[in-house]
Amino acid sequence: MAIPGAPAALDTYMLLLTSAIQKMIEQHVPQHKASPYSKCWCPPELTRLCKDYSRQDRAAFQSRGTIYEAKTEHWKKWLKNIDEHDIWNAGKITKNPLSDMGRTLIPTLHRKDINGDVISTCHTAEMKATVFADIFFPLKPDSLPPMPDDDLPPIKSLCPSLCHNFTRSSEGSNHQDPSKPQETTAFQI
């Protein structure tokens, strides 16, 4: 088909060409499906801020390794150049690190008498555990004192209308005599 020279014919030609292109697009180009994760409400400024945050977070995570390496290198360099005055500081640092790696440190315990004089001291973890067990979990007494309100009436006398449905099964057996009509019970005690 040749391109027409008249403006009206050119307009007709453009409409035919555009409709042919549209038909080809509809037949061969798949439609875009909106993602269920897309946020249509999100303005571009917020999207930019989220990307900036993610970039900075990634950079901070990657710098952790660099910081660890720098600390390790500084420690090694300091140990190589140590003098006789710093040897004691190095010993203190290695004995008492800044972080106790999750250990529980309980100070030395002192048992005192009524006057406040120290009877014994507990240094080891086993001795401290024994002291805490004795304090927090005392031995059960041989006999308990009687309760002051033990003269309460039995439950059956308080609510006979509720308790008449309770039955006691004999020796763990739940079998009913087939000759007797079956009773409806709420619970078996």
Query: Which range has the top average pLDDT, 49-53, 85-89, 162-166, 180-184?
Result: 49-53
pLDDT band at 56 (very low <50, low <70, confident <90, very high): very high
pTM above 0.75, yes or no: no
* Contact assessment for residue 74 and residue 93, using Cβ atoms and an 8 Å cutoff: no
Domain range list for the chain: 43-100, 106-136
* Tens-digit pLDDT profile for residues 93-137: 777 656 555 556 778 888 888 888 988 888 888 888 888 888 888
Residue 171 has pLDDT above 50, yes or no: no
d(CA 17, CA 23): 10
d(CA 189, CA 174): 11
Higher-confidence residue: 187 or 36?
Answer: 36
Token couple for 75: 């420690």
Residue 54 has pLDDT above 90, yes or no: yes
Express as a percent the part of the chain with pLDDT over 90. Answer: 12
* Tens-digit pLDDT profile for residues 12-41: 989 999 999 999 999 998 887 777 777 777
pLDDT band at 188 (very low <50, low <70, confident <90, very high): very low
d(CA 4, CA 123): 106
